[in-house]
Amino acid sequence: MSKPSPKGLLQIYKKQLLTKNKDLNEKYLQIETLLDLTNTLNSLEDLKTLFFNVLTLSSSIINCSKGIILIKNDVSNIFDIESVFNINEIKIKKQIFNTKSSFLKRLNKDKKPFIVGEEDNFNHILFKSKYALISPILNNNSLVGAIILIDKETRGGLRNFKKNDLKLLDSISIQTSFAYQNVKLLESLKKSNDLNKNIMSSITTGIININLFGEIEFVNKEALRLIKKDIEEVVGNHYLIIFEKDEQLQDVIQKVESEQERVFETEFPFKPNTKNISVNLSCSPVFDENGNFSGIVIAIDDLSKINKVKSTFKKYVSKNIVDKLLDNEDSLNLGGTESDITILFSDIRGFTSMSEKLSPTQIVKLLNKYFQSMINVVFKYNGTLDKIVGDELMVLYGVPLKNDNDTENAVKTAIEMFKKLDNFNKEITKRGFEPFQIGIGINKGKAVSGNIGSEQQMNYTVIGDTINLGARLCSHAKSGQILISNSVKDHISEKHNFKKIPSIAVKGKAKPIEVWLYTHKKKSNS
């Protein structure tokens, strides 16, 4: 074989140089594109845009004809389709991908990119391809997704991928993994900030946050209501401008600024405009992670609203109990505790037949007047009105607050209820209405008491066998009668004229129950 001529050698070298130059240009373009991709990914703040850019740019760099990105669902082991390129998205979405899938199984095990060729049987019916390049998206070394590039495009047609393509996609997936972690972190922080803002906005206490320069950075809805300004008028302005008419509040803020200690004022004359509002005011310094003073947070409780709540609460329990409950915040939490209680049930006898003769309006008016009279007696003896069910009253003693005279008070309540009933009946019979007749049952014992329900809607009540027996005693009591159990009789004074009567059979009890009877002197036979 003859050696090439000098001219031939020159042509060979020229061809080799051109080939190397072409390779260098390709590598340069790849590196340049990779740098652009890195910069792009680092600037993205949402996952949808991130995956679109990754798939678009990686497909361009590696010259593939199809592509797809799968991301693991937050609540399952299924990988959702996040981005597609040149693939029928409607058809592909019918497919379920998980780590039991052949390529995802391998990816989950090795955490490394790999090339799929004809011998690997990747001819997925939806992809309609024999060649694929697959690389993981990782988060703390856990598989969270996959970049799948399909069919490399060349002048000679579709070909399998090469090792250089594998290295490129590996670099892209590493950058994607970092970007994914950053975006997830940003999303988490945003959710946390949004949650904090939502909490601050929804609470009934007015919140105002003032920065180091005296500018108001945050104000919630309740504070805006008290200030009587829109958020645009408040946020960004100095507190001296917003509270220019309230010199007392200015003095409090400046005191906290100088001394950097919390100031709490009760019944503070808050003056956001021309009119004073009585509030409880808390003004506290805020410090950064290094312990440096960074601002002030003001909390304002409108006492007019608190007083309204107290007034409403007093419709259900006596004033003394309201005041004690509001002093003891734990008593207002969800949950139940076992307590020794006394329970009183009062029921109108023959009410159904009575109501059939009256109009609904007449019934409501009579019941309201009756209940008003009875409940006044309940509150007089520090009972807690648990509920009104139809024509029945259920009253608690010993919960939520305990008193040494709870059982005695329950009996006094029952006796006085009959006295009030006499007066009530005198009044309604003059107007042509039939008199009311009631029976009362009282029991004492252990029961679970507390706030039952949810944080949004709760009901203070009691449950247990003690309650059931109290209800049974009431149902056995005839008109004008008070029936009490042994446990009640043992805890009341002898002056009450109760006499023992034959034991009664009660549903749910194996043995008859010993019962004591008090008969109202003006009882009517029913």
Give the distance from CA 368 to its chain's centroid. Answer: 37
Predicted confidence band of residue 526 (pLDDT cuts 50, 70, 90): very low
Q: Got the DSSP string for 122-187? A: ---TTTT-S-EEEEEEEETTEEEEEEEEEEEEETTEEE---HHHHHHHHHHHHHHHHHHHHHHHHH
Predicted confidence band of residue 524 (pLDDT cuts 50, 70, 90): very low
Domain extent listing, the chain: 31-186, 203-306, 316-519
| CA-to-CA separations, 63 to 17, 67, 118, 140, 154, in angstroms, rounded | 24, 11, 19, 30, 8
| Cα–Cα nearest to 445, from 488, 395, 482, 409 | 488
Measured CA to CA, the distance from residue 296 to residue 287 in angstroms comes to 9
Q: What does the pLDDT read at residue 26?
A: 53
Measured CA to CA, the distance from residue 250 to residue 80 in angstroms comes to 56
The tokens for 431 are 């107007």
The tokens for 437 are 């007749």
Q: Checking DSSP bridges between strand 437-453 and strand 481-485, what pairing results, if any? A: parallel
Which of 132-146, 299-313, 351-365 is the most confident on average? 132-146
Q: What is the pLDDT of residues 80-110, one digit of tens each?
A: 888 888 877 777 777 778 887 777 888 888 8
- Does residue 439 surpass a pLDDT of 90? yes
Q: What does the pLDDT read at residue 407?
A: 95
Predicted confidence band of residue 202 (pLDDT cuts 50, 70, 90): low
203-306 matches 31-186 in CATH topology? yes
Q: What is the pLDDT of residues 265-284, one digit of tens each?
A: 888 888 876 677 788 888 99
Torsion angles phi and psi, residue 435, rounded to 5: -70, 150
Q: Is the C-alpha dihedral spanning 305, 307, 310, 315 positive or negative?
A: negative
Name the more confident of 460 and 520: 520
Q: Is 31-186 in CATH node 1.10.240.10?
A: no
Predicted confidence band of residue 419 (pLDDT cuts 50, 70, 90): very high
Q: What is the pLDDT of residues 12-61, one digit of tens each?
A: 655 655 555 555 555 545 555 555 555 555 555 677 888 888 888 888 78
CATH class given for the domain over 316-519: alpha beta
Give the distance from CA 135 to its chain's centroid. Answer: 39
Give the distance from CA 204 to its chain's centroid. Answer: 16
The structural architecture, per CATH, of the domain 203-306 is 2-Layer Sandwich (3.30)
pTM: 0.43
- Does residue 337 surpass a pLDDT of 50? yes
Q: What is the pLDDT of residues 153-178, one digit of tens each?
A: 877 777 778 888 888 888 888 888 88
DSSP state of 521: T
Residues 6+ apart with CB under 8 A from 331: 325, 400, 401
